[in-house]
A and B are shown apart, each in its own frame.
Chain A
């Protein structure tokens, strides 16, 4: 009873906040009417911001109308530089997916080995600590220059930046498996490989998945920036292309969609985390 009413009340507050936000946004971006006296022939050559005093920021109604337009045909393809938002998002998700999966394939086995060996763990620590804080975009020029292919470069950047949280969390999860459990396995004479899969993996799984969840968040953050830099396809390219056109409306729409997709990706991994977590 109390939880439902709390949920209801929270929902109502959310809606009220949204309404207030949209209202203020609308009022703040209203056009102020004709700003200066211009000859009609001059006015014809000028944009609405100059002639109607329209704010450079679009209002919520402009964004809504444009968003509807995009949602009506998400998969159109007008040539190499103009594709629907659905196609752009698909490109971005595919890039993130590829880079992220490669990172999973490297980070988790490597994390396992490092976590099980205190020597390696200590020896590699300085390298990981130095590599971890490097901004993914700092890798971009280097990648473009050495890999010589822009879409592989984008995937590489996703790979390199999503590997560290996964690796560190895997190491931490593996290293902090309770000693008793490992000792029990030892007494039962369980082999190393079997111990890794039947004892350590289940015990470390929640931590590993937390690392994976952090990584997917970072990967999604990075792809937009990477695509803005290399251009071509993807939601990041879309933002850049519309920025180029100074179309803030489309930029806002892209931001909204990036947020929603990011949330979905995070929720999927959160669900996995819940699946492997066990109550102690």
Chain B
């Protein structure tokens, strides 16, 4: 369930508290919104005004009963007028909207040219960084290992990373252990399994013994999801098939050259293989786990401590861009904004198919799935726990892991929740949620049992 879904949708689980997270119950929220309207509103100023006004109201009436009585007796508009008389709401709102002045305004953010980087990229041409007082240069980078090294080397202040990468870096897997943190998830869903056209009658994974598959990086959701999918169908990904780390453009070329049989890759690479007529979409990654995280926005702890305001402004810009990207009606515009050579450098039709979810499947059919790729920035710590269980399952982590501690250290749910609330958005109240991957429920409270429950895994 996305944070940006309609709060009035009856199917939406609002968790504990109210929609906006400011009140203890839905009734209380309704009462307050009568006066100031605290659900996300059209303009930024209105939103901030609402937040500030709520804060002021809470300060004046620490007792809820008193506030309710006051509002009931004088009415909302009179209350607002009265409040404005002795409290400079307008000024307060302006001060609030500016937040702290960024310590460093000129920032460099690295990205890999795939649709997963959509919020990071679009924030530049569509002005989200500028809106939060930053001058950000988004720099295209040649590969995941390079983006890791350049971020560690401080050439980049923050970067687009695969969701498990900051966890791996913090743990010192495949790099020196350097504490990294994730304030926002870039995208959810947005990957797929593509097979070469010659395999179009071989759709049952049980027949895939001996096939060669490509993944972009070892510490990636791509790797874990493909392994999970294969293992659920009884194949041991380490012995029954070949998995290779291949840069995305080479995946398409290798598929054309018959060098690999398929890959699990970011959606725009999948769609490009279809667009070029060399493969077909076997399934979208959301069919494995609907709402899974894909890429993340990451920065080193050092950057966060030395430039907390810059970091907060960056996170706000990303969250803002993500909120914009989560709306279906903006997707076409975004596809056009990120397609040029300066950004993803891909045909607009390909990006449009990915972002709007109306796409050619490579077998002659046109499919529609508006949630093919979706955007929801909240860094659920249970996502991190799940990734850790898979790292453990496939032998990337040896020995005991303190799942919760690592998840909470890397995935900054508390800080993001605070920022989102300040922005007038509605973050979830808890950082842990249970979810199902291919029908199997994951309980973040029992990660060790979860790892042990898999028949196919690397013995460690």
Please indicate the chain B residues that have their CB under 8 angstroms from the CB of A150 in the complex. Answer: 146, 150, 153, 155
Query: Is there contact, CB below 8 Å, between A81 and B342?
Result: yes
Query: Is there contact, CB below 8 Å, between A45 and B139?
Result: no
Which residue of the partner chain, among A79, A229, A230, contacts B342 with CB atoms under 8 Å? Answer: A79
CB-nearest residue of chain B relative to A145? B149
Please list the residues of chain B having a beta carbon within 8 angstroms of any beta carbon in chain A. 113, 137-143, 146, 149-150, 153-155, 248-249, 252-253, 256, 272, 274-277, 340-343, 345-347, 349, 353, 359-360, 364-366
9 contacts between A and B (CB under 8 A): A46-B275, A50-B275, A150-B146, A228-B142, A237-B142, A241-B113, A241-B140, A241-B341, A241-B345
Is A49 interfacial (CB 8 A cutoff)? yes
Query: Is there contact, CB below 8 Å, between B341 and A47?
Result: no
Query: Is there contact, CB below 8 Å, between A78 and B137?
Result: no
Extra contacts, 4 of them, besides A47-B276, A50-B276, A150-B150 (Cβ < 8 A), are A45-B366, A56-B256, A145-B149, A241-B113
CB-nearest residue of chain B relative to A37? B364
Please indicate the chain B residues that have their CB under 8 angstroms from the CB of A280 in the complex. Answer: none
Query: Is there contact, CB below 8 Å, between A45 and B349?
Result: yes
State the CA gap A23–B134 with chains docked (Å).
54
Please list the residues of chain A having a beta carbon within 8 angstroms of any beta carbon in chain B. 35-36, 38-39, 41-42, 44-47, 49-50, 56, 78-82, 144-145, 148-150, 228-232, 237, 240-246
In the complex where A50-B277, A78-B342, A232-B139 touch, is A41 in contact with B155 (Cβ < 8 A)? no
Rounded to whole Å, the gap between the CB of A79 and the closest CB of chain B is 4
Which residue of the partner chain, among B153, B248, B253, contacts A149 with CB atoms under 8 Å? Answer: B153
Please indicate the chain A residues that have their CB under 8 angstroms from the CB of B359 in the complex. Answer: 45
In the complex where A42-B364, A79-B342 touch, is A244 in contact with B113 (Cβ < 8 A)? yes
A-B contacts, CB under 8 A, total: 100
Query: Is there contact, CB below 8 Å, between A80 and B150?
Result: no
Rounded to whole Å, the gap between the CB of A46 and the closest CB of chain B is 6
Query: Is there contact, CB below 8 Å, between B149 and A144?
Result: yes
State the CA gap A153–B432 with chains docked (Å).
42
Please indicate the chain B residues that have their CB under 8 angstroms from the CB of A245 in the complex. Answer: 249, 341, 345-346
Which residue of the partner chain, among A36, A45, A49, contacts B276 with CB atoms under 8 Å? Answer: A49
Query: Is there contact, CB below 8 Å, between B366 and A42?
Result: yes
Which residue of the partner chain, among B140, B154, B253, B366, contacts A246 with CB atoms under 8 Å? Answer: B253
Query: Is there contact, CB below 8 Å, between A47 and B277?
Result: yes
Query: Is there contact, CB below 8 Å, between B275 and A144?
Result: no
In the complex where A144-B153, A145-B149 touch, is A42 in contact with B347 (Cβ < 8 A)? no
CB-nearest residue of chain B relative to A229? B142
